[in-house]
Amino acid sequence: MCGIIGYVGGGNAAEIILGGLKRLEYRGYDSAGAAFLSDGKIQLIKKQGRVEKLAPLLKEIHSRTGIGHTRWATHGVPSDINAHPHCAGGIAVVHNGIIENYAELKAELISGGAKFVSDTDSEVVAHLLLKNYRGDLVFALRETVKLLKGSYALMAICESEQRIAVARHKSPLIIGYGADGNFCASDEPALAGLCNTITILEDGDIAEISEKSVKIFDRFFNPVTRNEEPNLAVSASLGLDGYPHYMLKELNETPLSVEATARAFEGVKERFREELAGVRRVILTGCGTAYHAALIGKRYIECFARIPAECETAGEFRYKNPVIDEHTAVFAVSQSGETADTVEAARLALSLGAKVIAVTNSHRSELTRIATVSVPVAAGPEICVAATKSYTGQIAALYLSAAVLAGEKFYADCAEKIRLIPNLLTLTLESLDMRSLAHVCASSSGVYFLGRDLDYAVALEGSLKLKEISYVAGEGYPSGELKHGTLALIDVNTTSVVIITDEELAGKSGNAVEQVLSRGGKVAVITSLEGVKEKFSGKLPLVVLPKCDKYLSPLLSAVAVQMLAYKAAAVLSREIDKPRNLAKSVTVE
């Protein structure tokens, strides 16, 4: 989940690396560092904490070649010592991924006299490079990766060569071609505004990057040519456009996300229909927020198309020996398209003969590259670690996908209904007032989100968001499960948030409200139903949403629970955009 960037050329490497790391910080922000070639020596700067801590330390660096890293810790606590780059002799390396056999490699290196200074798995790569170095860094990297098990995107420099050697296996890595040098990075945003064309490396590739040229070799070390593509990343301002946090800014972009996703779906609708003809069973998989969107997609597919559907977290799915054949479609949902568990789940499904549908906000990701067909989420760049507009974009994409499976007439009706949603989302955002309820949640010992059917899926998302950014404990539960254990947790110090948007299930969910009240617990209700509003008005806090089709109600209630989480985190003065211990793109298991 770390972010890496490299540059070799005629420009100011320190300035370029720093700017790239700032754009990559969503991938990890426990520590940051960089290594530069200057007068034939490596200059190493690294610090625990955010990328901004590097800025004053890089002002005096004069270099044309450098590599940088922003870290999400896997092995070893966040610290200056464990920050990347790692060095051995005159070689420096940065790494995104996990070296699964690092302990064995480290023991062998130590027995040979190597001295380790960090607790990371990545430092073994630096020592292996030094051991394998015979005057050619690319050759040393080739020999080194033969010994590695796990996942890696690697960049290395050494004091005797004015070039960068890179390698990729199950972690994203791209090369950028600039007018005054060449680049490498974890993904396109790092290179926004720096180059017009890029190449996406494939698993097993090794490359040599110099100021004037790029040479790429495949897993057998044969020279290969990979496609050059336009760099579509926009050199966007990192400004907040007047908002105090990116999360609030991106919540307010939810209407545009749904509108753009519905528009983008039209471009893939026919291919999607052709590829899924004859499908008899659907599996949806994802992690975190994407899994919650998949739960909603499952209900859409079963209700609209009457095709059996099931939902699995990707980390469980890939290890359960799933029953899959050529009549199975697997929807792999991932904001980044690089989520390790989801990508590997998709690979497994393909190997078993399934059609794989990528539902992602990143249209050049590994997931889109391996999928049978991609359904675009057009949410645009999302900087806050906690997903908001990408989640509602995923719901919109799954809604339209299910509608296609149900037939042309049904799809036309659904396409018309979803056109109304951006205006309803705007109305929702303008009318939400979560300040009072946010204070209640912020002071609670636990917050329990309850709902039935689609409302239950949103309850899970509400609970996750509150935990992610406010650190207030709690869970999401089906309303009917309240009395099967959870009721024991209810007291005057807890708060329950009950979501009720389905007329047919309103009475059942209303019973859960009464059960919590009778045990002295605090309760709030989020509803779009007039009858529910009348029943509980004056008795408890009500969040009233605009009335809409029940199958599209998750788009409105999701915004409500996400806004509640945002406001509660603000009450507690949390670092909302970069919550502790988390990163946006989870590229390791």
Which spans in 163-320 are helix H?
Answer: 246-251, 254-266, 269-275, 289-300, 314-317
Report whether pLDDT(589) > 70: no
- pTM score, two decimals? 0.90
- Thinking of the domain 240-419, which architecture would CATH place it in? 3-Layer(aba) Sandwich (3.40)
At 23 the pLDDT is 87
Beta-bridge partners for 167: 154, 206
Report whether pLDDT(271) > 90: yes
At 518 the pLDDT is 87
At 239 the pLDDT is 64
**Listed range (17-31, 88-102, 166-180, 284-298) with the worst mean pLDDT:** 17-31
Cβ atoms of 243 and 249 within 8 Å: the answer is: yes
At 588 the pLDDT is 58
At 508 the pLDDT is 87
Report whether pLDDT(234) > 70: no
Chain segment 145-186, per-residue pLDDT in tens: 999 999 999 999 999 899 999 999 988 999 999 989 999 999
Q: For the packed helices 389-406 and 553-571, what is the interaxial angle rounded to 10 degrees?
A: 170
> What amino acid positions are annotated as catalytic residues?
2, 584
At 509 the pLDDT is 87
DSSP SS3 for 175:
strand
Task: In whole angstroms, give the CA distance from residue 512 to residue 455.
Answer: 13
Grade residue 372 by pLDDT with cuts at 50, 70 and 90.
Answer: very high
Cβ atoms of 243 and 214 within 8 Å: the answer is: no
In eight-state DSSP terms, residue 219 is T
Beta-bridge partners for 543: 526
Cα-based distances in Å from 554 to 74, 434, 449, 512: 34, 18, 14, 20
At 529 the pLDDT is 95
Calculate the CA dihedral of residues 323, 326, 329, 330 and round it to 10 degrees. Answer: 50
Mean pLDDT of 194-199: 92
Cα-based distances in Å from 237 to 193, 251, 382: 11, 18, 13
Report whether pLDDT(484) > 80: yes
> Does the bond joining 85 to the residue before it have cis omega, within 30 degrees of 0?
yes
**Listed range (109-113, 127-131, 230-234) with the worst mean pLDDT:** 230-234
Of the candidate CATH numbers 3.60.20.10, 3.40.50.1000, 3.30.43.10, 3.40.50.2300, the domain formed by 3-230 belongs to 3.60.20.10
In the chain, % of residues over pLDDT 70: 98
Dump strand ranges (E) for 452-586.
474-478, 494-500, 522-527, 542-544
**Among 392, 387, 401, residue whose Cα is nearest residue 358:** 401
Report whether pLDDT(265) > 90: yes
Grade residue 24 by pLDDT with cuts at 50, 70 and 90.
Answer: confident
At 19 the pLDDT is 92
Chain segment 537-579, per-residue pLDDT in tens: 988 999 999 999 999 999 999 999 999 999 999 999 999 999 9
Grade residue 585 by pLDDT with cuts at 50, 70 and 90.
Answer: low
Selected residue with higher pLDDT from 85 and 519: 85
Grade residue 241 by pLDDT with cuts at 50, 70 and 90.
Answer: confident
Mean pLDDT of 116-126: 95
At 587 the pLDDT is 59
Grade residue 363 by pLDDT with cuts at 50, 70 and 90.
Answer: confident
Question: Domain 425-576: which topology?
Answer: Rossmann fold (3.40.50)
At 320 the pLDDT is 86
Grade residue 399 by pLDDT with cuts at 50, 70 and 90.
Answer: very high
Chain segment 47-86, per-residue pLDDT in tens: 999 899 999 999 889 999 999 999 978 888 989 999 999 9
At 200 the pLDDT is 94
Cβ atoms of 298 and 309 within 8 Å: the answer is: yes
Mean pLDDT of 92-114: 95
Report whether pLDDT(436) > 50: yes
Domain with CATH 3.60.20.10 in the chain: 3-230
Domain with CATH 3.40.50.10490 in the chain: 240-419, 425-576
